[in-house]
Amino acid sequence: MATTPTVKLNDGNDIPQLGYGVFKVPPADTERAVSEALEVGYRHIDTAAIYGNEEGVGAAIAASDLPRDELFVTTKLWNDRHDGDEPRAAIAESLEKLGLDKVDLYLVHWPTPAHDNYVHAWSKLVELRDAGLTRSIGVSNHLVPHLDRIVAATGVVPAVNQIELHPAHQQRAITEWAAQHDVRIESWGPLGQGKYDLFGAEPVAAAAKAHDKTPAQAVLRWHLQKGFIVFPKSVRRERLEENLDVFDFELTDAEIAAIDAMDRPDGSGRVSAHPDEVN
């Protein structure tokens, strides 16, 4: 199986373009799932304080005996920790649970605009990076107005923006902003969370058949060729292996264009919460 490629962040750090996400992996099952992911070949793990499974991620990392510099670990600041010096306390708690002295990427999980404290939270992440508690900093679920505001206030551009992104919901205003500011997009829910018939869609099914791959592999390949960082979630070893086996083929320009055309620009393809409504 091919080695996962890395992409360069705007701060000079490298990030594996495909990783393993542990959203909704039960805490009791996380150590096993992450251990299997590491055995299969994943080296990028994406978790968050609110997932409640940082301890399991840390236990799997410790048991793996992999060199720390071969792993890329992301966690996130939850919505009720934006004020005051709470971000520093929050990352300290996450690091203790993970058994690490620093993470590779720390994200503001949601902007929580009703509380109007995401600029403060972002400024604190800059301090945490400068203090060596995280190598890179970024945001998640931030829309263009949120991004414009944090950059104007701090002068610091996020390394990544992790957003819901899949063929029916491509968020092009955000991806265009990211391209203009050298910000990497991370796709969460890259397969639509099973909430619509993505795999039965003709462009996806046709691409999969043409390359003798599964529909999931065709969609993951679409993300990769678009330049997105992606981390599908599964707790089954065979699916972990399938999701990683996407580096031995390329979609044609026509196949990518056909999947691009599945976008619903009116936002009706969104399968999760709107960032302005999560507070």
* The token pair that represents 151 in the structure block: 């950059």
Q: Does residue 160 sit within a domain?
A: yes
pLDDT tens for each residue of 221-254:
999 999 999 988 888 899 999 999 999 999 999 9
Whether pLDDT at 1 is above 70: no
Which residue in 51, 106, 118, 196 is the catalytic one? 51
Q: Does residue 75 sit within a domain?
A: yes
CATH number for the domain spanning 121: value is 3.20.20.100
Q: Does residue 29 sit within a domain?
A: yes
Q: Does residue 137 sit within a domain?
A: yes
Range of the domain at 15: 6-196+227-235
75 — phi, psi (to 5°)? -140, 180
pLDDT tens for each residue of 255-270:
999 999 999 999 999 9
Whole-angstrom distance, CA of residue 77 vs CA of residue 95: 12
Q: Which pLDDT value is given to residue 153?
A: 98
* The token pair that represents 232 in the structure block: 């599908």
Q: Does residue 120 sit within a domain?
A: yes
Q: Does residue 71 sit within a domain?
A: yes
Residues pairing with 102 in the sheet: none
Q: Does residue 206 sit within a domain?
A: no
> What's the total number of domains in the chain?
1
pLDDT tens for each residue of 74-118:
999 999 999 999 999 999 999 999 999 999 999 999 999 999 999
Question: 20 an active-site residue?
Answer: no
pLDDT tens for each residue of 112-149:
999 999 999 999 999 999 999 999 999 999 999 999 99
pLDDT tens for each residue of 157-211:
999 999 999 999 999 999 999 999 999 999 999 999 989 999 999 999 999 999 9
Triad 246, 57, 125: Cα angle to 5°: 95
Q: Does residue 265 sit within a domain?
A: no
Triad 12, 13, 15: Cα angle to 5°: 135
Helices (H), the chain: 27-40, 54-64, 86-98, 118-130, 144-154, 172-181, 202-210, 215-225, 237-244, 253-260
At 2, the pLDDT band (50, 70, 90 cuts) reads low
